[in-house]
Amino acid sequence: MLARGSLMAAAALATLLAGCVRTPMPKLDQHLPAQWRHAAAASRPPVDLHRWWQAFHDPMLDRLVDEALENNLDVAIARQHLRAERALYGSRNAPVAPNLRARTDDPIDPDAESSYFVVGFDATWELGLFGRTKALDRIATSHVLQARTTLREARVSLVAEVVRETIALRSAQSSERSLERVLQARQRQAALTRRRVALRLSDRMDQTQADAAVATARAALAQPRMQADHAAQRLALLLGRSEPDPAWLKPGPQPRLGPTGPVAAPASLLRTRPGIAHAEANVLEAAGELGIARADLYPRIGFGASLLWSTKIATYRRDPGTNAIGTVGPILDIPLFDWGMRVSHEHAQSHRLQAAALAYRKAVLTGAAEVEDALGDLQQQREREQAEAQAVADWKQTVDAQRVRRRLGLSSDLDTVNAQIQHAEAELSLIAARQDRDLAYVALYKALGGAPPLPARDDRVNTARPERK
């Protein structure tokens, strides 16, 4: 009775001590400014972060994004990694869970007079005291959250890349059309110059320069054609296709970004930007590793039992029969001579946890900086686009004025052609400005973590959320 009471008292004391060993989560610095420095006017509602590309009002772009989210291989790979971590999460407490195994052996007597065949069962159960169970749960949870965040990050990057490549494709096609107008105008210019040379109103040098300008304009057409082909091929890869859809290569209008409202408050980054969520999961994992290191400083306490049957299979003595023996009792594993190594490991894990907390802070600041840069770039690109659009309008008026002057006999056909060339080149600059403005918009919503929410099959929660202090 005394031994049983002592055992219960020891177990109660161990449980009490285990409850005193805790590894609290560090306080994560989530401070962000109250508003963006380059905040847009609030005359319109904010853009939907989950469908931000719809601001381009392009049905083809909407279809491409939906197809990419369904068929992209990087997203599919990330989804399988998430499912693997969810499958492993179910066995997170295996190291401290009851364990039963069967085994056989065929030992030989030391005096070589007998040999035996042994069959037995061993059962162990470590109690997971001193924070070990909590640490194991934190590590497994962090792995699931990391995989989930990787999937979110893949979807955010995918949407941004699909929009970028669509913009590049349509911008290249628009540039090709403007360059074709430049080539036609250069050819008209060369023909007029040739006539002036025949009339001895210009010299051969003017004809040579006009012919060179035609060759240069024709050569310039190769660049947008290559860009369109490359963009279509990259789109096919993003959509999991072996080759582009021929319909993509048919000329289409350049995406036109409509008026957009203000961006959500900076604090929204904490729940939308995958990089911040990934850093938070890393903190959780580091806290779990520290918990394991601290638990290793204390004895491992558990229970064990075994049941063995043995029978002689060869003997030189007449001693037939089968023997059975069973044992049950506590298991105590106390660190002694490697104490210094365990202490050093605990100190190292403590520093790694601090580093993870600092990395989280860096991820928050990096996210805020990228959004601020994107907002500033978008603002500047909008102003550039407005200036280029004004230049196009001014050159259009110049072309119209030259045509009127030509009808009145106040200018030549060559003056009108020169104005048309300037107008087409101004259109090229406007196309480039719109493309850069659109890409700045894409960079903004990639920095914000904009993408459709995860499907229910990937977003179901079967793990604890990261702990917060």
pLDDT band at 224 (very low <50, low <70, confident <90, very high): very high
pLDDT at 301: 85
* Structure token digits, residue 292: 């394991």
pLDDT band at 62 (very low <50, low <70, confident <90, very high): very high
| Maximum CA extent, the chain | 135
pLDDT at 81: 94
**Mean pLDDT across 175-199:** 90
Alpha-helical runs (H) found in 199-273: 204-220, 222-238, 269-272
Chain centroid offset of residue 468 CA: 23
Q: Residue 304 gets which letter from DSSP?
A: E
**Distance from C-alpha of 158 to C-alpha of 267, rounded to nearest angstrom:** 24
pLDDT band at 102 (very low <50, low <70, confident <90, very high): confident
Angle between helices 204-220 and 132-198 (to 10 degrees): 150
* 123 CB burial (10 A radius; 0-12, 13-18, 19+): middle
* All residues at 6 or more sequence positions from 361 whose CB lies less than 8 Å from its CB, including other chains: 28, 29
What are the tens digits of pLDDT across the range 138-160?
Answer: 999 999 999 999 999 999 999 99
- Classify 40 in phi/psi space as left (phi over 0), alpha (psi -120 to 50) or beta: beta
Which domains are seen in the chain, by residue range? 21-95+148-298+350-459 (1.20.1600.10)
pLDDT at 362: 95
pLDDT for 233 beyond 90: yes
Give the residue with greater pLDDT, 452 vs 307. 452
- The answer to whether the CB of 264 falls within 8 A of the CB of 48 is no
**Distance from C-alpha of 160 to C-alpha of 289, rounded to nearest angstrom:** 35
What are the tens digits of pLDDT across the range 309-346?
Answer: 777 776 545 455 557 788 888 888 888 888 888 899 99
Looking up tokens 């959320």, which residue turns up? Answer: 465
pLDDT at 466: 47
253: three-class secondary structure by DSSP: coil
pLDDT at 337: 82
When the pLDDT of each residue in the chain is averaged and rounded to a whole number, the result is 85
**Distance from C-alpha of 28 to C-alpha of 309, rounded to nearest angstrom:** 57
* Range name among 70-74, 364-368, 408-412 with the lowest pLDDT average: 408-412
315: enclosing H helix or E strand? strand 300-315
* All residues at 6 or more sequence positions from 413 whose CB lies less than 8 Å from its CB, including other chains: 188, 192, 406
pLDDT at 304: 84
423: three-class secondary structure by DSSP: helix
Looking up tokens 């040098």, which residue turns up? Answer: 205
* Structure token digits, residue 154: 């893949």
What are the tens digits of pLDDT across the range 255-292?
Answer: 888 777 788 888 888 889 999 999 999 999 999 999 99
pLDDT for 34 beyond 60: yes
C-alpha distances out from residue 426 to 176, 388, 432, Å: 14, 7, 10
* Range name among 42-46, 55-59, 187-191, 216-220 with the lowest pLDDT average: 42-46
What are the tens digits of pLDDT across the range 394-439?
Answer: 999 999 998 888 888 888 888 889 999 999 999 999 999 999 999 9
> Which of 359, 381, 367 is closest to 26 using CA atoms?
359
**Distance from C-alpha of 140 to C-alpha of 135, rounded to nearest angstrom:** 9
Query: Which residues sit opposite 308 in a β-bridge?
Result: 120, 325
Q: What percent of the chain has pLDDT over 70?
A: 88
Provide Rg for the chain, Cα atoms: 37
